[in-house]
Amino acid sequence: MSGDAEFVAGSMKFESVQQVDVPKGRDGKHKQIISQLLSDIAQLSLGAALKIPLSELPDTKENIRSALSRAARQQKINLATSSNDEFLYVWKTDKEEAGL
């Protein structure tokens, strides 16, 4: 028995769309801020860190840190982060000292 035979024919629960209208790739909700952060990180001089006000982030620092970590890993950039109640700090590292 095929998997489709287990479902009863009837009205669809979910909306259908044309495949050409399905978004390709992962353009998540953090794409704009992550792109900006990666651009700023690329311009950092050796020994410098970004100082990002938490009040300017569109989501929690944990969610932004996770999204940044995924994006940096895809681009083979080693980053470390730190934070306090007001700021998220991000800097480039050697692989051994990465703390993201």
> Are the C-beta atoms of 78 and 93 separated by less than 8 Å?
yes
**For residues 2 and 74, what is the distance between their CA atoms, to the nearest angstrom?**
38
**Domain 29-97 -> CATH class:** alpha beta
CA distance 89 to 52: 6
pLDDT in tens, the chain (100 residues): 455 556 667 788 888 899 888 876 666 788 899 999 999 999 999 899 999 999 999 999 999 999 999 999 999 999 999 999 999 999 999 865 544 5
CB contact set of 79 (below 8 Å; sequence gap of 6+):
41, 68, 69, 72, 90, 91, 92, 93, 98, 100
